[in-house]
Amino acid sequence: MANITLKQLRYFEALARHTHFGHAAEASAISQPALSSQIKDLEATLGTQLFERNPRQVRLTSFGIRFRDRVRDILRSVDELGDLARVSKGALSGRLRIGVIPTIAPYLLPTLVRSLTATYPDLDLDIRETITPRLIDDIADGHLDAAIVALPVSEPSLTEVTLFTEDFVLVRPEADGDRPMPAPDQLQHMRLLLLEEGHCFRDQALSFCKIPTARTRHGLDGSSLSTLVQMVGAGLGVTLIPDMAVPVETRSAPVAIGRFAEVQPNRTVGMIWRKTTPLADHLHEMSQVVRRAVTP
């Protein structure tokens, strides 16, 4: 086993994550033949197959699944050695990998990046936008250092720090702007446009409107808040969006914004990171920088 290299483990993890030689090679900045050769050498050293290969799919063997879990622990520990060295230097510097959910990223990132680069001039920000479950997995696997998401995520292995709370608003066709605001429970009887499954904002909207997930209708889902607002402008229904999205998403659509008078729907936005990361103190300090930057 002495011939196993750290590079081979990283290539293996990339292929296990992408289940596609081409995608894994691209993510690893290596040619596909070179990646394939490294995986074959690793399998030869182990004396067993890690992957089942067929023309359409690459799949981990049962041993490969067990091996993947140990490899991810090893790679995370190796990365944390580098984090320990960064912490010893004092101020946060070097590469920092931050994830942001899609219902926050377009509206918060400009302010966030300006504030962080001004506070930490030696920081190299690497930002990924995707849905919360993937961000949580990436943090757990060591592919991200922290993420900005809607809280709570309720993962015992993660630290959660609140940044701010923001309201949701109702987006209606412009012609309906003078009508009385519907009560929250009336929304379940309207043509409510939602983000596609996997977005936490979808679940929050359903909860506020008291609509069971099983009762949602097909054909009314969008992939982004921008799509939902444009669909409302076209007269296809109504939707909810967070307050931070209003200036960006409503400027080019014939829609009206309404705010609920009594029960105001909202969400709590915060930062999360692994409790075990050596960067924990730095990330807590950074969360305060972010809070000051985004709080009016």
pLDDT tens column, 20-40:
898 899 988 899 999 999 999
pLDDT tens column, 134-162:
999 999 888 899 999 999 998 999 999 99
Beta bridge partners of 173: 255
Q: Within 10 Å of residue 7's Cβ, how many Cβ atoms? A: 12
* Helix 105-119 × helix 280-294 angle, to 10°: 120
The alpha carbon of 65 is separated from its chain's Cα centroid by a whole number of angstroms, namely 24
Give residue 1's pLDDT: 52
Give residue 200's pLDDT: 82
Q: Looking at mean pLDDT, say which of 49-58, 189-198, 219-228, 246-255 comes out highest.
A: 246-255
pLDDT tens column, 63-80:
999 999 899 888 888 887
Q: Within 10 Å of residue 15's Cβ, how many Cβ atoms? A: 26
* Boundaries of every domain in the chain: 6-76, 85-164+268-294, 165-265
Please tell me the CATH code under which domain 165-265 is placed.
3.40.190.10
pLDDT tens column, 155-182:
999 999 999 999 999 999 998 888 888 8
Q: How far apart are CA 265 and CA 239, in angstroms?
A: 13
The answer to whether residue 216 scores a pLDDT higher than 60 is: no
- The pTM assigned to this predicted structure is 0.77
The alpha carbon of 247 is separated from its chain's Cα centroid by a whole number of angstroms, namely 22
Q: Establish whether domains 85-164+268-294 and 165-265 are of one fold.
A: yes
The answer to whether residue 2 scores a pLDDT higher than 90 is: no
- Identify whether the C-beta of residue 65 lies closer than 8 Å to the C-beta of residue 55: no
Range in 55-59, 217-221, 235-239, 274-278 with the lowest mean pLDDT = 217-221
- Identify whether the C-beta of residue 92 lies closer than 8 Å to the C-beta of residue 137: no
- Identify whether the C-beta of residue 131 lies closer than 8 Å to the C-beta of residue 102: yes
Q: How far apart are CA 120 and CA 93, in angstroms?
A: 7
Q: Measured at the alpha carbon of residue 36, what is the angle toward residues 79 and 32, in degrees to the nearest 5?
A: 90
Give residue 67's pLDDT: 93
Beta bridge partners of 59: 52
- Reported as a pLDDT band with limits 50, 70 and 90, residue 244 is very high
How deeply is 180 buried, as exposed, middle or buried, from its count of CB atoms within 10 A (0-12, 13-18, 19+)?
A: exposed
Comparing CA positions, the residue from 131, 169, 193, 195 lying closest to residue 247 is 169
Assign 3-class secondary structure to the chain.
CCCCCHHHHHHHHHHHHHCCHHHHHHHCCCCHHHHHHHHHHHHHHHCCCCEEECCCCEEECHHHHHHHHHHHHHHHHHHHHHHHHHHHCCCCCEEEEEEECCCCHHHHHHHHHHHHHHHCCCEEEEEEECCHHHHHHHHHHCCCCEEEEEECCCCCCEEEEEEEEEEEEEEEEHHHCCCCCCCHHHHHHCCECEECCCCHHHHHHHHHCCCCHHHCCCCCEECCHHHHHHHHHCCCCEEEEEHHHHHHHCCCCCEEEECCCCCCCEEEEEEEEECCCCCHHHHHHHHHHHHHHHCC
Give residue 89's pLDDT: 66
Give residue 54's pLDDT: 80
Give residue 264's pLDDT: 81
What is the domain class of 85-164+268-294 according to CATH? alpha beta
Please tell me the CATH code under which domain 6-76 is placed.
1.10.10.10
